[in-house]
Amino acid sequence: MTTETTLRTTPSTDPLVGPQATRNVLRIIFHRLYSRWAERVLLEDGTLEIGRDRSVFPRGPLEDSRISRRHARIVCDECCVLEDLGSTNGTFVNGTRIERRPLARGDVIRMGDTFFVFDVEAEDPLTGADCAVIGLSSVASAIRSEIVACAALDSTVLVVGEAGVGKDLIATELHRLSRRKGTFVAVNCGAIPESLMESELFGHQRGAFSGAVSNKQGLFAAAQDGTIFLDEIGETPLAMQVKLLRVLQNREVRPVGATESFRTNARVICATNRDMVDAVQSKTFRADLYSRITQWMFRVPPLRQRLSDIPSLMMSFLERSETRKISADLIAAFVSHSWPFNVRELRDLLQVCVHTSPETEILFTPRATRQLEENRRLTPSSAPRRETAEADEEAVAESDGELGPQALRRLLRENGGNVNRVAQRLGKHRNQLYRLMKRFQIDPADFRR
């Protein structure tokens, strides 16, 4: 059964706009009825009015008593603009009450006790049941798509992302979908003493050093026919980096004290939250090893760049025995937070709410409020709420919805010159951006990494 409907379409007069145009969608991400999550409406040229009794979505009216009869409308032309229609309880975008606002990809909209995301259409090769990466956003879909594309390969992978984004989950899914017959072996390179690292990874022969009373199998051997996950690879000592490089180049491992090597076919997946280019430039990480481990670079976005996935993540964290509903005010508080510690912080704060809420509903309790504020003060990254999305909103708002050259250059720089990605973030067609680049004499190739 489909959960999609389409807004009335006005034919475009732009000859450059074809079937590959970006398709914007409005998707339900939180509703009192879980069965309505993920319902969506396609936003094409025209006006979409949202109200309590209007059958905009496939399953009919939203049945939310806190939504006004004529609550808000979205007007789409070259960009999409959200307007409140004098609603009783207001219309909110990313936690801020608005009267009129251009929408950017990933904006979380609240009307009454229902939450939506303004997003782009995205093909998803895996459903939530098929993959441990949870979320209804196009960002989550892109992560799942990249996992599918990468899993079947033997390439060495570097998973990059802030602490708490779930880099270990990405590695686990890459192994699971690879259908490798061997085991998944996880190693925290930052937790192993330098003096023991070679023995832990490669194994040792009896008598190789004081205390080596028997032969020991290393972790590379344990991962034969499987995957070895080298977490915190950026913490590896330089002397050990040379030995890892030799293993990756020759696909051979020599245990400490041994005279012969053995072949390894373990796939190597690395992860780090460090700026590895900076580490290479400061000579704390070898450039040749960096080149070897980045055959596939997998960047995991922070939670603040996928706020619309928060309700789905919360549901996945709750125990199956939990019968209480999640309050809309809790969702509102969570989608307004910057999440400096990412998904790990979300899981922990949700548990605080679960343990301190009444028997009827899971609320944003005073204890959780204090913990959230403390987390916000602990790190500089908590400063601007959802800084990238806010910058996108500013960019769209320039010149009454038209990008200026400074904003366009910044977005191209942040996205490595990928025009399609910038268009998706802004909810615009890529040909609009090409016309602007021509006018401002901007070459996207200048921003490609």
Return the sign of the alpha-carbon dihedral for residues 259, 262, 266, 268.
Answer: positive
Alpha helices in 336-429 (DSSP H): 342-356, 366-378, 387-397, 405-414, 419-426
Give pLDDT, residue 400: 35
Whether the predicted model's global pTM rises above the 0.75 cut:
yes
Residues 6+ apart with CB under 8 A from 13: none
CB 332 within 8 A of CB 314: no
Long-range contacts of residues 88-95, Cβ cutoff 8 Å, at least 24 apart = 92/332, 94/307, 94/335, 94/336, 94/385, 94/386, 94/389, 94/390, 95/332, 95/335, 95/336, 95/385
Q: What angle do CA 57, 105, 313 make, to 5 degrees?
A: 75
Tokens of 265: 């076919």
| Helix pair angle (342-356, 328-335), 10° resolution | 150
pLDDT score of 181: 94
Q: Which amino acid makes up residue 304?
A: R
Listed residue (190, 202, 194, 196) closest to 232, CA to CA: 190
CA distances from 153 to 148, 229, 330 (A): 10, 15, 41
| Rounded average pLDDT per 10-residue block, the chain, 449 residues | 38 30 88 95 93 94 96 92 97 95 94 96 69 91 92 95 96 95 96 91 80 84 97 96 96 89 95 94 96 95 95 93 93 94 96 95 94 80 42 41 73 80 73 82 80
- Using only C-alpha atoms, the chain has a radius of gyration, in whole angstroms, of 25
For residue 13, what pLDDT is reported?
28
Structure tokens at 218: 């290393």
